[in-house]
Amino acid sequence: MRIIGVPVQVWGAIALVLAVVWVFVWPQREVDGVAYLILRWGHALVWLLLGIAAFLAPVASTAAKGTGMAAGLVYLAFLVTVSING
């Protein structure tokens, strides 16, 4: 399986590298509770889920779709939290 001519495994590896980057780079704002968790770990979790979805896509498309949808929901929560606490 390929996306714009590149195997999904390559996209998955790129997503996992980005997940590691976002573990160290995050919006450092003065918030507590759930907002802190979302801002601290949300973006990294999105990229981790996208990487997992990319690796699942060739063998388990239903699981890959669910994982991709979960990534979208986490990203939406991240964006809303950034907007509210911006």
- Quote the number of domains for the chain: 1
Q: What is the pTM (predicted TM-score) of this model?
A: 0.90
Give dist(CA 22, CA 32) in Å, integer.
19
Helix or strand run (H / E) with residue 48: helix 33-56
Residues whose CB falls within 8 Å of the CB of residue 31, separated by 6 or more in sequence, listed in order: 39, 85
What are 2's two structure tokens?
Answer: 């390929």
- Cβ atoms within 10 Å of 51's Cβ, excluding its own: 22
pLDDT of residue 60: 87
pLDDT of residue 3: 80
- The domain containing residue 6 runs over which residues? 2-84
pLDDT tens digit at each of 86 positions of the chain = 888 989 999 999 999 999 999 999 888 888 889 999 999 999 999 999 999 999 999 898 899 999 999 999 999 999 999 999 87
